[in-house]
Structure 1
Amino acid sequence: MTDGTVAEWRARGGDVDPVQACPIAPVVDVVFSRWTTPILWTLNEFGRQRFVELERRIGVITPKVLTQRLRQLERDGLIGRTYYPEVPPRVEYEISDLGRSLAPLFQSLVEWSPNLAKVEEARRRYDTHEPPHRRP
């Protein structure tokens, strides 16, 4: 959470720092922002890759968004970028030690993923019945 956001929150009368209220929120913002997880997962699983390889493995991401996310991940220290001054120039990306430290988190999510069937079932049940908050 940025200082501006915290300051705005406090100005509205907040008495608990949101980071203290939910200490994982800043981590979630960094690791689970749009496209970050697939990029980190791909670099962790497949190792060093060029831009086009990442683009192909991730699939539906646009080049513009991939470029933005890669720059942010490099800025955050989660990936490294190596430029080779060849003809044509070559750039490779790889996960950093800091990014690699997220591997246990990713593994935990993989282990939890069978629960997605239960989530889908709960959604189906919810959607086919009138929700309790809408009952007279």
Structure 2
Amino acid sequence: MSTDNQPALDMLLSSASFRRCRQQAARTANDPQSLAALLDQVAAHEFGIGQLPDSGGGVDIDIACAVVDAHLADLRSGDGTGALADARCRLVVAALLYLVDRDDVIPDHLPDGHVDDVVIMRWATRVARGETTTA
């Protein structure tokens, strides 16, 4: 993400909506049922513009979902080695929770209601890839 978008990202990451999603992620990141439900919500989520496709611009929702799916598989392994979600995983979970939250900073029903979601998902993709420090 270019530095031109940094003020917008900083505003979104410090918003009450994203703080709420981070708190929810802390509670659910190690709950297999909650994680599976979240992945289902992401797969079914639509915006005022319809589904938000992955794009060459870095909104790789599949990458964020893969991080959560891998953590979910680890939790479900049942061999006692399932690690607690690390900070990066919890932030990706928070970003996915934000994505499906219809009442975030720019509510999804508005014409540009996907803009904040795109910014958060681009950031989450970079977090998942380890390209950025976590907030």
Same structural fold, with TM-score higher than 0.5 when normalized by the shorter chain: no
State TM-score, norm by structure 2.
0.25
State TM-score, norm by structure 1.
0.25
Which structure dedicates a bigger proportion of its chain to strand? 1
